[in-house]
Amino acid sequence: MPQPYFVRDYSHLIGKLVAKRPLNEAMELAVGGGGYGVVGSAELTLVTETGFRTGHSIIDVGCGIGRLASAI
C-alpha cells in the first residue's frame, strides 16, 4: 500500500528542516513554529483568566504539541 500523501509530505518537510537546523529546532518548527514556552504560558494565562484553578482538570486529547500541558 502506498504511503498517504500527508505522511510523504511531512517526511519531506522534516528532512528539509533537519538539513538546515538542529533536530530539536527542526521538530519545533514542524509542529507549529517556535515559542513553545511563551505560547504555553499565554494559553495558561487564558485558561486561568477564564476560571481554571488548582484542583480543576483539563482533558487534552491530542490537540497540539503539549504547550498547555507543559505550562500547567
46 and 26 assigned to the same domain: no
C-alpha 44/C-alpha 62 separation (Å) is 17
CB-based burial label for 14 (10 Å; 0-12, 13-18, 19+): middle
Structural domain range at position 43:
35-72
DSSP class of residue 4?
P
Confidence band, pLDDT 50/70/90 cuts, at residue 65: confident
More confident residue, 29 or 56: 56
Tens digit of each residue's pLDDT (9 = 90 or more) over 22-54? 988 888 788 776 677 888 899 899 999 999 888
Contact 36, 67 (CB under 8 A): yes
29 and 39 assigned to the same domain: no
Can you list the alpha helix ranges (DSSP code H) found in 1-72?
5-20, 23-30, 36-49, 67-71
Number of domains in the chain: 2
Question: Given this model, what pLDDT does residue 33 score?
Answer: 63
Residue 20 in this model has a pLDDT that exceeds 90:
yes
